[in-house]
Amino acid sequence: MLRERAAHLLAAIQNRRAVVLGDLLYDSFVYGDTHRISREAPVPILSENRRTAMLGGAGNLARNLSSLGAEVRLISVAGTDADGEAAIELVKLACGDATGVVRTPERPTPSKIRYVSNNQQMFCVDRDPTEAIQAHTVSDLLNHIKEALETSDILIVSDYGRGVVTRDLVQAAIALARDAGKPVSVDPRGHDYSRYDGASIIKPNAGELEAETGLTVSSDDEAAAALKALKAQLTRTQAVMVTRGGAGMTLLDETGVIHHHRSRSRDVYDVSGAGDTALAGLSLAMAAGASLKDAMEFADLAAGVAVGKPGTATVSPEEILDAAQAGEEAPDWRVMSRLAMAELSADWRESGLKVGFTNGCFDLLHPGHLSVLRHAASVCDRLIVGLNADASVKRLKGENRPINDQATRATMLASLEMVDRVVIFDEDTPAELISEIRPHVMIKGADYVAEELPGADFIRQSGGEIVLAPLMDGLSTTNIVNRLRQDS
């Protein structure tokens, strides 16, 4: 999707009101290290370092909608247990209030606890309700939905299979939305999608579509055939769409036309929660009046940002703009603005990843640069490269520099496998940028003195480290430029 179109959609979705009906989960993460085996059983012992918690299920969808600029009313069920109390507080942070979450003592709050060592999940503990929601709870949920739809633009159903989205409830909710003239989008779960019939669009992933139809979805033609088979069973549903991972998305729209959207090639770090991000983008674009084809492309753009982040992350409008194409000569999506880079760096740190930073002009990329960048990547989990803007290079190197403009230099750096992100800064030194990104480690060539580096004071005060990478003798852009001038 071109940046101009993405910017138009982002402006249109700001402050849209969404009603989310679905299963609320309380997700917690226990991070630590494993260095020994238990004496009681042949299992590793996790030495806990920290714990974090976030909303899962429909709660993660609500977080994604809020981060994109929407106002969200979450309609769900939570227990009267401690996890329920904690989840309610997180809902208030994400949505402003939690009045749509019905508390019930009959069911525990669905939860997940993931145990992570050295950025690798060891195992996961689930607690799922076994009791069905009772009639009075269904009545309360419908009252909340009816009230919320009066001032909302769309109903979104997020079924995580924890028992909230029953056939009777979802059919009644869809009827309320249709009567109110509001579109309905659905992320389905399990078998028998007839319980969602009447929605504006139903969005399974490839595996879910295969399970529902019994047809394979490994090519464009197969995806189209499976969607047509699914649509034939859902006579009151307007459109169906399937997300196909790296193969993109396929849509059967309300007129019966098939659209294939090919995703851009991306470095995928974590697909957790990307479906919620795609549903948020799709739904808000629909609420803003976009065509389903445009809404699909916008959903893919948002999901593409999400898979570049660890864990169930949200995405911001600025990150989506950074990822959008500016035309045929668009810079790599890994070239980010300062604000978006600071937010992503914070996400990485929160997920336990070691963030590294190096910087330079990188005017004529040569083996000396590659050597330093490889060394930098080897001492961190994610490497950010700060790049001097054209005006900065001119002040530092003279009126005849840079040879390559900043867009060219940024694109070349972003194409390197050892570089995770590139961010351009206008100042002569990266000191201010370093304080915004807050890396764990700063890496520079061995021709520098660590104590004299711009940003060194911040790195030391924040408990970080400075690493000096070995150099390749005689290699520098200035030397190359001087030799070229002599030869000419």
Q: Does 136 score more than 60 pLDDT? A: yes
> In which band, very low, low, confident or very high, does the pLDDT at 330 lie, cut at 50, 70 and 90?
very low
Counting residues of the chain whose pLDDT is more than 70, the rounded percentage is: 92
Q: What structural domains does the chain harbor?
A: 3-323 (3.40.1190.20), 335-487 (3.40.50.620)
Per-residue confidence (pLDDT) for residue 327, from 0 to 100: 44
User: Which range among 20-29, 54-63, 316-325 shows the weakest confidence by mean pLDDT?
Assistant: 316-325
Q: In this predicted model, which residue has the larger pLDDT, 267 or 15?
A: 15
Q: In this predicted model, which residue has the larger pLDDT, 102 or 366?
A: 102
Single-letter residue type at 480: I
* Selected catalytic residue, list 276, 300, 347, 363: 276
Per-residue confidence (pLDDT) for residue 14, from 0 to 100: 87
Q: Does 432 score more than 90 pLDDT? A: yes
Q: Does 195 score more than 90 pLDDT? A: yes
Our CA dihedral for 477, 482, 487, 488, rounded to 10 degrees, sits at 100
User: Which range among 158-172, 244-258, 313-327 shows the weakest confidence by mean pLDDT?
Assistant: 313-327
**107-124 confidence digits (pLDDT tens):** 999 999 999 998 788 999
Question: For the chain, what is the mean pLDDT?
Answer: 90
Task: Establish whether 140 is a catalytic residue.
Answer: no
Report whether 375 contacts 403 (CB < 8 A). Answer: no
Taking alpha carbons only, the member of 171, 188, 173 closest to residue 279 is 188
- Residue whose tokens read 């070229």: 484
Report whether 172 contacts 141 (CB < 8 A). Answer: no
For residues 213-236, average pLDDT: 97
For residues 134-161, average pLDDT: 97
Strand ranges (DSSP E) for 81-234?
101-104, 111-117, 120-127, 154-158, 184-187, 201-202
**229-242 confidence digits (pLDDT tens):** 999 999 999 999 99
**Cβ-proximal residues to 80 (8 Å cutoff; 6+ apart), any chain:** 103, 104, 105
DSSP codes of every residue in 228-289: HHHHHH-TT--EEEEE-GGG-EEEE-TTS-EEEEPPPP---S--TTHHHHHHHHHHHHHHTT
